[in-house]
A and B are shown apart, each in its own frame.
Chain A
Amino acid sequence: MSEDIAYHEYDVLVIGAGGAGLRAAIEAAEGGLKTAVLGKSLLGKAHTVMAEGGVAAALGNVDPQDGWETHFYDTMRSGHFVSDYRMAEIHAKESPDRVLELEYWGAVFDRTPEGKIMQRPFGAHTFRRLAHVGDRTGKELIRTLEQKLMTLDVDVFQEITATKLFKDQDRVAGCIAYYRDDGRFAVFTAKAVVIATGGWGKAYKVTSNSWESTGDGAALAFRAGAELADMEMVQFHPTGMTWPPGARGILVTEGVRGEGGLLFNSEGERFMEKYDPARKELSSRDVVARGIYKEVKAGRGTPHGGAWLDITHKGAAFIKRKLPGMYEQLLSLADVDITKSHFEVAPTIHYTMGGLRVEAQTGATSVPGLFAAGECAAGLHGANRLGGNSLSDILVFGRRAGAGAMEYAKNAKMPKIDGAEVQAEMQRVLAPLARTEGENPYRLHEELQEIMANHVGIERNGPSLEAGLQKMQELRERTEHMQAKGSRQFNPGWHGVFDVQNMTLLSEAILRGAIARKESRGAQWRTDFPDEMEDQGRVNYVQRLTDHGIEVRPEPVPQMPEELAALFKRGVAPGLANSARKE
């Protein structure tokens, strides 16, 4: 093929330009390595920008009893004890430093009266822990990282899509990508590759995720031999918008409930009193989402299939000060003035807890030279993520994956990419444009979303999951034959082909994980196995792609050492226990 291909060589190549990717690139570049970042969108537009509530870090600025032990305790409990305790420990210990580092780089958090970084309460956090900037914390975080990155010698490739990872023997060797604006190819050879491409919420129709959340990196790494874990754990956020149709799924921040919002069913009953009498609306996300779902199923849903969320009792001035983004969002998109009236909310797909199986210290996957961090990696959040832990996750493990990749690259030689493989991949990528007939990627995406909604939503059961898997395998077969009309120039139909292929692969893994886990735990709720199995449930379902398809195997959760396990024996959060002792 007489293609004009750009060839690049880097020590560390980061795929994904969200918070985790940028943090990894900063680490590698500050270590003096030649580093590049690839992003599907413009710089600073990644899904990180949508995080609203805050970044969880046990700074103890407003609740001095808080400390890493309590943050660790909250994370493990909310993850229903299938999290990797080593990740949870590192995360709890390092998040405060990562937050302060952001402040040093120019982030401007809200302040306490003493002039420290302000922290707010959130569902299932024992203490007020979320450092924040109004309801736009994610934007502050990604902007700061973007601005820090600009001071370093890092090559940023914007609007470029990686389609395949190459290997040199066992180790990763780089990737091929195409520029979205004109369809040119670029081949990146790299000693180490960091995957930081986020989640795959777009496999579902009703989701708070942006279009980018198609799981590209996880799918690429999976095909390259890396292992996935906990794929069945997909978080429903309890409160997404339900109306108008175009806005369905858009997030209503947990902050509304944090600031006092109450949930009611169509009969005016405050139903969370039934499902979690102690914490009510501020229970963990899996419990609240299931509560709303059950009310709707029992016929007590609102006109568009949700629950009423009401914060009018807090008064207009308070709402506009604390939740300016939400006030504006509902007013402009749904014509609802939340200071005057209640509004409908329903669960929306929010986060994928599962993903690439990584080593806690370095973010290394099972493929040498390949690292992963952020939402595309598994381990920290287990069966249910705590609000605010994703922003701290990308900072802590973005940095660690960057450092891990740097150490690996320092001791590695530049790998070789096989030219024939490059040619073959280019042909595969261009094939949809050459086809005169074939499947429509937009249509297949809709079908995918329908299968996911019908077979592996909030409520799951064996026969339905099996039927879903059957359909998904048929769909995956059809995704090989998609057609894209038009040219290589900025062609969303063509781009969609690879998004759909990646999502169907990962969706099959979600179904297989959900089938394998024969219990209910956190986000996985099976009506045929409604109970959490104390012992046989404490495993991670690990998946590998072989020539015969996806293989699933259970791996026991790593055992906590004695001093960590002891934290859970008092039956009360460490911070509370310590302060009680002092009194």
Chain B
Amino acid sequence: MPDEITLSVYRGDKSGGQEVEFKVPMQTGMVVLDALHFIQAHDAPDLAVRWNCKAAHCGSCSAEINGSPKLLCKTRVDDYVGEVIHVRPMHSFPVIKDLVTDVSWNYEKLRQVPAFQPAIKAPFTLQQRDVDRIQEFRNCIECFLCQNICHVLRDHDAKDRYWGPRLMIRIAELEMHPLDTGDRLELLKGAAGVGMCNITKCCTVVCPQGIDITDNGIIPLKERVADVYWDPLGGLVRKLHK
């Protein structure tokens, strides 16, 4: 094992910046966040990096390592033996400083999703099979790596037309709750912009929680929109059924 690794870390703020190289002694099983902590303690005490739990539970330490969106606490340094490790902030959000970005837009949108509207008071009677698929979505740690990789937000900056995979998953968990009475389809088709997604699945690829965002979340939402807006026959059948 090499004694030392080289990290090239983005330093800068909204006015710009560049990567700066640091040497860090290699330790067994080290993750990239450990290396950044070493840099903070020894070379650059003001190196800004967001982190909390260091156990991949909280979703704070999202960044891009050699071009791929990853959690810093879960990415092992020994995955990059013989390479310089380039660490940059998330591309789709404005940089505050160094590796810290302004992700407040996501919280604004989360606030705009109509909340859970249960049909009855708790305690609920629900089978495990009724909640399995929403539990998958509620495993989200809000790291926003899916928002970061989504090309609609990343390359086209279409935040005014599409709310991104995280928000789709939030809406999906409500729409698929057996006891929810809310209707978010107009929102989905309109402001939230599910039609902007072209199901190229990069969100699913980067999700550290392994949520099948596209197949289990977004596509079923697209089909729900199709039920109402592209399928008059189905709509009639549903009306008669009621």
Whether A and B touch (Cβ < 8 Å) is answered with: yes
Interface flags for B57-87 (1: CB within 8 Å of A; 0: not) read 1111000000000000010100000000000
Q: Verify if B205 is at the interface (C-beta below 8 Å from A).
A: no
Q: Verify if A33 is at the interface (C-beta below 8 Å from B).
A: no
Residues of B with C-beta under 8 A to A151: 115
Residues of A with C-beta under 8 A to B174: 106
Nearest CB of chain B from residue A376's CB, rounded to whole Å: 17
Q: What are 17 A-B contacts with C-beta separation under 8 Å? A: A49-B53, A50-B58, A103-B124, A105-B116, A110-B128, A110-B131, A116-B125, A147-B110, A147-B115, A150-B110, A158-B104, A329-B56, A333-B29, A487-B46, A489-B13, A489-B48, A490-B98
Interface flags for A485-519 (1: CB within 8 Å of B; 0: not) read 11101111110100000000000000000000000
Q: Verify if A417 is at the interface (C-beta below 8 Å from B).
A: no
In the bound complex, how far is the Cα of B139 from the Cα of A441, in angstroms?
Answer: 36
Check B121–A245 contact: CB distance below 8 A: no
Closest to A335 in B: B29
Check B45–A442 contact: CB distance below 8 A: yes
Check A103–B123 contact: CB distance below 8 A: yes
Residues of A with C-beta under 8 A to B74: 332-333
Also in contact, A133 and B177, with CB within 8 A (given A151-B115, A486-B46, A490-B97):
no
A-B contacts besides A106-B116, A211-B54, A246-B34, 16 pairs, CB < 8 Å: A50-B55, A108-B131, A108-B173, A111-B127, A139-B139, A143-B142, A210-B53, A211-B51, A212-B52, A244-B28, A333-B76, A440-B45, A441-B45, A491-B48, A492-B45, A492-B47
Closest to B27 in A: A245
Closest to B118 in A: A104
Q: Verify if B103 is at the interface (C-beta below 8 Å from A).
A: yes
Also in contact, A442 and B107, with CB within 8 A (given A41-B60, A245-B28):
no
Nearest CB of chain B from residue A485's CB, rounded to whole Å: 5
Which chain A residues have a beta carbon within 8 Å of chain B's beta carbons?
Answer: 41-47, 49-50, 100-101, 103-106, 108, 110-111, 114-117, 133-134, 136, 138-140, 143, 147-148, 150-151, 158, 181-182, 210-212, 243-247, 250-251, 329, 332-335, 440-443, 484-487, 489-494, 496
Also in contact, A333 and B127, with CB within 8 A (given A41-B60, A50-B58):
no
Partner of B52, one of A117, A211, A486, A491: A211
Q: Verify if B126 is at the interface (C-beta below 8 Å from A).
A: yes
Residues of B with C-beta under 8 A to A108: 131, 134-135, 138, 173, 177
Partner of A133, one of B33, B50, B59, B138: B138
B169-185 CB contacts (< 8 Å) to partner A: 173-174, 177
Most buried by A among B58, B59, B123: B58
Residues of B with C-beta under 8 A to A251: 55
Interface flags for B123-147 (1: CB within 8 Å of A; 0: not) read 1111110110011001111100000
Partner of A115, one of B29, B102, B107, B127: B127
Nearest CB of chain A from residue B141's CB, rounded to whole Å: 7
Check B100–A181 contact: CB distance below 8 A: yes
Nearest CB of chain B from residue A357's CB, rounded to whole Å: 28
Check B57–A50 contact: CB distance below 8 A: yes
Nearest CB of chain B from residue A351's CB, rounded to whole Å: 15
Partner of B177, one of A106, A116, A443: A106
Residues of A with C-beta under 8 A to B125: 114-116
Q: Verify if B30 is at the interface (C-beta below 8 Å from A).
A: yes
Nearest CB of chain B from residue A314's CB, rounded to whole Å: 20
Closest to A443 in B: B41
Residues of B with C-beta under 8 A to A104: 118, 121-122
Residues of A with C-beta under 8 A to B111: 150
For the complex of A and B, 3 pairs with smallest distance between CB atoms: A244-B29, A486-B46, A493-B45
Number of A-B residue pairs having CB atoms within 8 Å of each other in the complex: 171
Check B52–A181 contact: CB distance below 8 A: no
In the bound complex, how far is the Cα of B141 from the Cα of A106, in angstroms?
Answer: 16
Q: Verify if B40 is at the interface (C-beta below 8 Å from A).
A: yes
Q: Verify if B96 is at the interface (C-beta below 8 Å from A).
A: yes
In the bound complex, how far is the Cα of B129 from the Cα of A115, in angstroms?
Answer: 10
Check B53–A490 contact: CB distance below 8 A: no
Closest to B120 in A: A104
Residues of B with C-beta under 8 A to A243: 28-29
In the bound complex, how far is the Cα of B31 from the Cα of A181, in angstroms?
Answer: 25
In the bound complex, how far is the Cα of B131 from the Cα of A244, in angstroms?
Answer: 36
Check B58–A49 contact: CB distance below 8 A: yes
Closest to A117 in B: B123
Partner of A210, one of B47, B52, B141: B52
Closest to B137 in A: A108
Residues of B with C-beta under 8 A to A245: 27-30
Q: Verify if B203 is at the interface (C-beta below 8 Å from A).
A: no
In the bound complex, how far is the Cα of B29 from the Cα of A74, in angstroms?
Answer: 40
Also in contact, A485 and B46, with CB within 8 A (given A181-B96, A246-B27, A333-B31):
yes
Q: Verify if B150 is at the interface (C-beta below 8 Å from A).
A: no
Check B115–A42 contact: CB distance below 8 A: no
Check A111–B128 contact: CB distance below 8 A: yes
Nearest CB of chain A from residue B102's CB, rounded to whole Å: 8
Check B98–A486 contact: CB distance below 8 A: no
In the bound complex, how far is the Cα of B53 from the Cα of A210, in angstroms?
Answer: 4
Nearest CB of chain B from residue A75's CB, rounded to whole Å: 23
Residues of B with C-beta under 8 A to A105: 116
In the bound complex, how far is the Cα of B177 from the Cα of A104, in angstroms?
Answer: 12
Check A493–B121 contact: CB distance below 8 A: no
Closest to A433 in B: B46
Most buried by A among B27, B40, B76, B97: B97
Q: Verify if B49 is at the interface (C-beta below 8 Å from A).
A: yes
Check B40–A493 contact: CB distance below 8 A: yes
Also in contact, A115 and B126, with CB within 8 A (given A148-B115, A442-B40):
yes
Residues of A with C-beta under 8 A to B139: 136, 139
In the bound complex, how far is the Cα of B44 from the Cα of A484, in angstroms?
Answer: 11
Residues of A with C-beta under 8 A to B27: 244-246
Nearest CB of chain A from residue B183's CB, rounded to whole Å: 16
In the bound complex, how far is the Cα of B102 from the Cα of A100, in angstroms?
Answer: 35
Partner of A246, one of B30, B47, B121, B140: B30
Check B97–A250 contact: CB distance below 8 A: no
Also in contact, A106 and B100, with CB within 8 A (given A115-B125, A494-B46):
no
Residues of B with C-beta under 8 A to A103: 122-124
In the bound complex, how far is the Cα of B131 from the Cα of A400, in angstroms?
Answer: 31
Residues of B with C-beta under 8 A to A441: 45
Residues of B with C-beta under 8 A to A181: 96-97, 100, 102
Closest to B141 in A: A139
In the bound complex, how far is the Cα of B56 from the Cα of A322, in angstroms?
Answer: 18
Closest to B210 in A: A328
Nearest CB of chain A from residue B62's CB, rounded to whole Å: 11
Closest to A243 in B: B29
Closest to A491 in B: B46
In the bound complex, how far is the Cα of B100 from the Cα of A493, in angstroms?
Answer: 15
In the bound complex, how far is the Cα of B127 from the Cα of A105, in angstroms?
Answer: 18
Check B96–A49 contact: CB distance below 8 A: no
In the bound complex, how far is the Cα of B74 from the Cα of A494, in angstroms?
Answer: 26
In the bound complex, how far is the Cα of B45 from the Cα of A241, in angstroms?
Answer: 27
In the bound complex, how far is the Cα of B54 from the Cα of A484, in angstroms?
Answer: 24
Check B138–A140 contact: CB distance below 8 A: yes
Residues of A with C-beta under 8 A to B100: 181, 490
Check A101–B126 contact: CB distance below 8 A: no
Nearest CB of chain A from residue B93's CB, rounded to whole Å: 12
In the bound complex, how far is the Cα of B50 from the Cα of A490, in angstroms?
Answer: 9
Residues of A with C-beta under 8 A to B50: 41-42
In the bound complex, how far is the Cα of B46 from the Cα of A442, in angstroms?
Answer: 11
